[in-house]
Amino acid sequence: MTDPQARAIPNRLFFRLFQTGNVLQRQVQKEMGVSTVQWAVLGALSRPGYENGISFNELTEYLIVSRQNLDGVLKRLERDDHVVRIAHPQDGRARLVLMTAQGRAFWESLQPKIDEFYRQALASFGFDDQVSLLHYLNKLNADLAQVEIDPAKATTEPTVD
């Protein structure tokens, strides 16, 4: 893809994804008072079947975050008594992350705001639009996970939007 016009759409697409992520982070913090990662952690822990916790490693894989990033977020959530880390019952060296009763109450208190956030953020999207966007984001996520640049095939031409 050496033609600048052929590069324009992918470049703009990834730049818009970057911008969208930043707007999401800013708006969630402003409107909810939590970070997007805190929101994701609490959401992951609130899923049915995780009432007894999830291993730290499973949580990093589910959220696709680094161990360091998750550790910092968990420390803040622990400070606020929303989560605790406990010894894994089958492996004392491993830790489970568990939502506390206070964390569950906090999560439940956020639900009306979350519903309104989604309603406003998706106001211009019909149901079919939402399903399509989810489908394409899932495809992009799967393709991104498979990216492996072969230095021999990589170009050195810069791309600028």
Under the banding of pLDDT at 50, 70 and 90, the label for residue 94 is confident
Q: Which of 1-10, 62-71, 98-107 has the lowest mean pLDDT?
A: 1-10
Note down the domain range covering 27: 4-145
Number of domains, the chain: 1
pTM comes to 0.83
Q: What is the DSSP letter of 151?
A: T
DSSP structure string for 54-104: EEHHHHHHHHT--HHHHHHHHHHHHHTTSEEEEE-SS-TTSEEEEE-HHHH
pLDDT at 92: 76
Q: Is residue 37 part of a domain?
A: yes
Is the pLDDT at 135 greater than 80? The verdict is yes
Q: Is residue 160 part of a domain?
A: no
Share of the chain above pLDDT 70, in %: 94
Q: Is residue 159 part of a domain?
A: no
Q: Is residue 158 part of a domain?
A: no
Q: Is residue 152 part of a domain?
A: no
Q: Is residue 156 part of a domain?
A: no
Say if residues 37 and 60 touch (Cβ distance below 8 Å): no
Residue 130: which CATH number? 1.10.10.10
Where b means 16+ CB within 10 Å and e means fewer, 100-117 reads: beebeebbeebeeeeeeb
Share of the chain above pLDDT 90, in %: 82
Is the pLDDT at 84 greater than 60? The verdict is yes
Under the banding of pLDDT at 50, 70 and 90, the label for residue 102 is very high
pLDDT at 158: 53
CA 67 vs. chain centroid, Å, equals: 14
Q: Is residue 154 part of a domain?
A: no
- The contacts of residue 110 (CB under 8 Å, 6+ apart) are 32, 34, 39, 42
Q: Can you tell me whether residue 39 is helix, strand or coil?
A: helix
DSSP structure string for 10-36: HHHHHHHHHHHHHHHHHHHHHHHSS-H
Question: Is the dihedral angle over the CA atoms 111, 131, 99, 80 positive or is it negative?
Answer: negative
Is the pLDDT at 61 greater than 60? The verdict is yes
pLDDT at 93: 81
